[in-house]
Amino acid sequence: PASDPALVERARRAKAALGERLFVLGHHYQRDEVIQFADVTGDSFKLAREAAARPDAEFIVFCGVHFMAESADILTADSQRVVLPDLAAGCSMADMARLAQVEDAWDVLADAGVADVTVPVTYMNSSADIKAFCGRHDGVVCTSSNAKSVLEWAFRRGEKVLFLPDQHLGRNTAVLDLGLGLDDCVVFDPHRPGGGLTPEQLRAATVILWKGHCSVHGRFTLDAVHDVRRRVPGVQVLVHPECQHEVVLAADLVGSTEFIIKTVEQAPAGSSWAIGTELNLVQRLARAHPEQSITFLEQHVCYCATMNRIDLPHLVWTLENLAAGQVVNQITVDRETERFALAALQRMLELPG
């Protein structure tokens, strides 16, 4: 549906009033009505870099989810304010790894005698205290754009990796990019004693995957891949690495949201795609590329509900408050957490590729 013109005008006016004091970041999964006000759009890697590169902006309004706004707060100066237009915009995957659970898991690894040789790696989609845990234990953050180079870095530092919180990104990267076997990976279930693993299994594993997943990407199925290939001859299946391993294996191409966009942008007219990622992005790509045929990989997968919480009314409310001198919905990470999370983020940002 088209955005309400009165709200569009209010957002425009408040943004203009704030001028250079404001910088708006928009993740690719945001609604059209919001993304039109983003100064920069990107995947979580690009947005983390963009936040760090705006030292002059007094206010960073993050149109995305909570863990992204936390990362922006960590990467920006103390004087800069990071604002999330709706505080309920969380991420179910990030919520699947709590600090107390991860600390308990580390104790299990220590009891099995493997903590000393394990490097903790957390996907960007995790809370600041999980990133800080990784920072404290000489670990690192990765995103879906750089998981391969981050894991290679980790394996130069240790013999094993504890990968948090997305088992699918961890498995897909370990097997498809690093050439490890499925048998080299085990899944640590925080809801079972000892993670549901024996000390022998932990000692034999190369990658210890946290039992977390994305509730959106986890719904794409192998059947959907087969089905679209039957329905659309010549279709190329393009999916995000948060999808299940069997889906990624059956796809033609896999990559982050930024990769998905570039792939479609660079494809010749007449190309045909079935895309397995969040629906706002797929619909926007289909509209931007009428010269190509773009379909959504699965009929039963919908928007990311928490990304969608950021809508135009919330954005207008945020911008008008900022313009009136009232900072609302500020995201702040405490100094101690920030110090260690920054170490893990900086290790990632310093890696090439």
Residues that bind ligand SF4 (CB under 6 A): 29, 65, 91-93, 125, 214-216, 278, 304, 306-307
The annotation status of 272 as a binding-site residue, yes or no, is no
69, 214, 239, 251: which one binds ligand 13P (CB under 6 A): 214
Site string for ligand 13P, 234-253 (x = CB under 6 A): --------x-----------
Q: Which amino acid is at 56?
A: D
Q: Is residue 125 at the binding interface for ligand 13P, with CB under 6 A as the rule?
A: yes
Count of residues in contact with ligand 13P, rule CB under 6 A = 10
For residues 23 and 57, the answer to whether their CB atoms sit within 8 Å is yes
The annotation status of 144 as a binding-site residue, yes or no, is yes
The annotation status of 240 as a binding-site residue, yes or no, is yes
Sheet holding 140-142, edge to edge: 140-142, 118-123, 160-164, 207-210, 185-188
Residue 301: closest CA among 231, 232, 247: 247
Neighbours of 290 (CB within 10 A): 9
Rounded Cα distance, 24 and 318, in Å: 11
Least Cβ distance, residue 237 to ligand SF4 (angstroms): 19
144 binds, among ligand 13P, ligand SF4, none (CB under 5 to 8 A by kind): ligand 13P
Sheet holding 253-254, edge to edge: 253-254, 236-239, 272-276, 293-296
Least Cβ distance, residue 182 to ligand SF4 (angstroms): 23
- Name the residue nearer to ligand SF4 (CB basis): 59 or 220: 220
DSSP state of 239: E
Q: Is residue 143 at the binding interface for ligand 13P, with CB under 6 A as the rule?
A: yes
215 binds, among ligand SF4, ligand 13P, none (CB under 5 to 8 A by kind): ligand SF4
Residue 46: closest CA among 134, 144, 129, 140: 144
For residues 171 and 98, the answer to whether their CB atoms sit within 8 Å is no
3-state secondary structure at position 322: helix
The annotation status of 241 as a binding-site residue, yes or no, is yes
Beta strand 272-276 pairing with 236-239: parallel
Least Cβ distance, residue 335 to ligand 13P (angstroms): 26
Rounded Cα distance, 216 and 219, in Å: 6
Which ranges constitute the DSSP H helices of the chain? 5-18, 32-35, 44-52, 66-75, 92-95, 99-111, 128-136, 147-157, 167-172, 199-204, 222-231, 245-250, 257-266, 279-288, 312-323, 335-350
92 binds, among ligand SF4, ligand 13P, none (CB under 5 to 8 A by kind): ligand SF4
Least Cβ distance, residue 78 to ligand SF4 (angstroms): 27
Question: For residues 252-271, which are near ligand 13P according to CB under 6 A?
Answer: 256-257
- Name the residue nearer to ligand SF4 (CB basis): 65 or 121: 65
Rounded Cα distance, 289 and 276, in Å: 17
Report the residue count for the chain: 353
For residues 296 and 278, the answer to whether their CB atoms sit within 8 Å is no
Q: Is residue 144 at the binding interface for ligand 13P, with CB under 6 A as the rule?
A: yes
Least Cβ distance, residue 115 to ligand SF4 (angstroms): 27
Q: Is residue 280 at the binding interface for ligand 13P, with CB under 6 A as the rule?
A: no
306 binds, among ligand 13P, ligand SF4, none (CB under 5 to 8 A by kind): ligand SF4
- Name the residue nearer to ligand 13P (CB basis): 33 or 242: 242
Rounded Cα distance, 240 and 96, in Å: 19
The annotation status of 146 as a binding-site residue, yes or no, is no
- Name the residue nearer to ligand 13P (CB basis): 118 or 126: 126
Q: Which residues are annotated as a binding site for [4Fe-4S] cluster?
A: 91, 214, 304
- Contact positions vs ligand 13P (CB under 6 A): 43-44, 91, 125, 143-144, 214, 242, 256-257
Q: Which residues are annotated as a binding site?
A: 27, 44, 91, 123-125, 144, 214, 240-242, 257, 304
Q: Which residues are annotated as a binding site for iminosuccinate?
A: 27, 44, 123-125, 144, 240-242, 257
